[in-house]
Structure 1
Amino acid sequence: MAPVTITVLYPNVQDATFNMEYYLQTHMPLAQQHFGQHGLIGYRVQKLLSTATGDPAPYSVMCLLEFPDRAAWDNAVTQAAGPVMADVANFSNKEPTFLIGEGVGGNVAVSKI
């Protein structure tokens, strides 16, 4: 089975609120606690700045959740998503969009600065 990346996107609309401090300090450790026992390998959080053309990004925050395979993600959602999803209202007034991607190739370069 191939690894999967779950992309979680929070909308960038006029009436949206998002508490990044709460998200990083409370919500993501909660997600790690509940999803970690079901295969979560790690996550990355990105504050989205703009599109490549300079237009406002349609989303304000993106979180990438890494799982070893689709079955691990499905199990995490089935067994542990309740407390994680219930916490969304504590940092955002908008529901996120979830995208599931399966790894098919790529190369990650690491540079030293």
Structure 2
Amino acid sequence: MIKVTVLYPNGDGKTFDMDYYTNKHMPLMATLFGDAVKCIAIDKGGASGTPNTPVPFLAIGYLYFDKLSDYEKALEPYVERIRNDFPKYTNIQPLIQISEVLQ
């Protein structure tokens, strides 16, 4: 199984609409990716590991697929549509990491 992690770094002037992300964007991902996506999860930044410092990430999204080729095949027809949705909830350029899930 692979996990696509989408990280939204915090910083000066960064904005993030969690309501839109949870109620519109991620459900859109579920619809577009269909049966290829096995699970979707969202983290909302709550605190950093150091007291009195800002959270490093405002949000983190997770999408799970059986294999990398399933993700790539599901993403390809919709990549522009997905990117065009970003400005509706954030001004952050997300960081994306694809990992193999070991446990």
Q: Give the TM-score, by structure 1 length.
A: 0.82
Judging by fraction of residues, say which structure has more helix: 2
For residues 76 and 51 of structure 1, the distance between their equivalents in structure 2, rounded to whole angstroms, comes to: 34
Indicate yes or no: 2:7 matched with 1:14: no
Alignment-derived partner of residue 41 in structure 1: 38
- What percentage of residue pairs aligned between the two structures are identical? 28
Give structure 1 stretches of 5+ with no counterpart.
107-113
- Secondary structure of 1:87's partner? helix
* TM-score normalised by the chain length of structure 2: 0.89
Q: Which structure would you say has the larger Rg?
A: 1
Take 1:94 and 1:51, find their aligned partners in 2: how far apart are those partners? Answer: 19
Number of residues paired by the alignment?
102
Q: CA RMSD in A?
A: 1.4
1:1-113 alignment runs, 5 A limit: 3-37=1-35, 39-54=36-51, 55-104=53-102, 106=103
Q: Secondary structure at the match of 2:37?
A: coil
